[in-house]
């Protein structure tokens, strides 16, 4: 959805995240605001897009599931 050569424009990525993650990712508004202000290039599907989806599914509102020492922000399932 909204994909061009494995990348999403910033506005398309944000729109897609809002559609897919609304009510499921408690940091969604903060994340989208951060991307709008700081992201300079398109969102790559294999990096940012997939990582945000994975992060939203394994880190809870109380940050349970977050591993600040890990190379990957979520524990292995």
What pLDDT is recorded for position 63? 73
Q: What is the pLDDT of residues 2-23, one digit of tens each?
A: 555 566 788 888 898 999 899 9
Please work out, in degrees rounded to the nearest 5, the angle formed at the alpha carbon of residue 43 by the alpha carbons of 76 and 1. 85
pLDDT at 77: 46
Please report the pLDDT score of residue 4 as a whole number: 52
pLDDT < 50 positions in the chain:
1, 77
Question: For position 32, what pLDDT does the model report?
Answer: 93
**Looking at beta carbons, which pairs linking 59-68 to residues 24 or more positions away fall under 8 Å?**
61/26
State the DSSP H helix or E strand holding residue 33, giving kind and residue range, or none if neither: helix 28-38
């Amino acid at each position: 959805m909204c994909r061009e050569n494995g990348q999403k424009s910033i506005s398309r990525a944000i729109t897609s995240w809002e559609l897919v993650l609304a009510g499921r990712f408690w940091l969604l508004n903060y994340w989208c605001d951060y991307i709008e202000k700081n992201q300079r290039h398109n969102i790559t599907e294999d990096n940012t897009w997939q990582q945000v989806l994975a992060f939203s599914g394994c880190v809870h509102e109380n940050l349970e599931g977050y591993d600040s020492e890990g190379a990957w922000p979520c524990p292995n399932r």
